[in-house]
Amino acid sequence: MSAMPLYGIPAFFTLIPAVLLVFRHGGGRDSAFWGALGLAVLGSGAQAIEFYHYGFGEGFSFSLWVTITSTLVLFVVGALVLRQGWRLLFLLAPYLLLLGGVATLFHLVFGEKHVSFPVVSATDGEGIWFFLHVVVGILSYALLTFAAVAALSAFLQERALKHKSPNRLTRKLPSVAESEALSLAMLLQGGLVLGLGLCSGLAVNWLEHRVLLDFNHKSILSILTFVTVVILIVARFVSGTRGRVAARLVLLAWLFLTLAWPGVKFVSQALL
């Protein structure tokens, strides 16, 4: 158990107002919307910083709080510049609340157990590449999370149209066409950033071990993610793949990347 038993619980509660927006009638990008988003960003960001400050910056809970914060920041940008992007909050907020709950519970259960990951100084070329690799990895995961949420939105909307049974949630989500457009846009950007992440990973491996590719679980899953994304993008433009098939491929790519980053940390910290 951790010496700080309430660690993470206040941050978890800052995510709840965004989830409650799902249940209100009407509303849009108003003060309540931005207020709930701002509170969630501040709460999750502060929690990630506190974890790092107290020496928990290499574990599973920290990676989840970083994921939550980066995804929220990316979503804020999307809500500002994309006409219908803000509507994805109604799927994204419950998912991030679930992540926050898992991060909090995991820390309370496994507390002070740490994972020994290599620490590289940021004052040399090796450290710069390592820092770039971490930042690119976080951004690619946030982009693919956004793409997966948009794909899920398209799937739910398509299903509601097919069965002629829209509900409160689907009425708040973007249309099928808008959801697919958002998913494709995030997928294109996520694929580009993920490709940069793979290149930076090769550079880090070369600087540290004088080998380009280390065939471990993380690298294999990251490559599978990139291949899945490329296949989906090519299929989308060549054969017009969309709907349920596209949604499943996006979710598969997101699953691979989840296993590659927080998944590996969970196994290393909780099971090994």
Task: Report the pLDDT value the prediction gives residue 227, as an integer from 0 to 100.
Answer: 83
Is the CA virtual torsion 27, 183, 146, 152 positive or negative?
positive
- The structure's pTM equals 0.82
pLDDT value of position 6: 54
For residues 22 and 93, what is the distance between their CA atoms, to the nearest angstrom? 9
| pLDDT: which is higher, 21 or 116 | 21
CATH of the domain spanning 1-112: 1.20.120
| Residue 96: predicted pLDDT | 94
Domain residue limits, the chain: 1-112, 122-271
CA-nearest of 162, 194, 182 to 246 is 182
Neighbours of 53 (CB within 10 A): 9
| Each residue's pLDDT tens digit, 257-270 | 776 666 666 666 66
When comparing pLDDT for 236 and 57, which is higher? 236
pLDDT digits (tens, 9 = 90+) for 80-91: 988 888 999 999
As a whole number, mean pLDDT of residues 175-184 equals 88
Range from 50-54, 102-106, 167-171 carrying the lowest mean pLDDT: 50-54
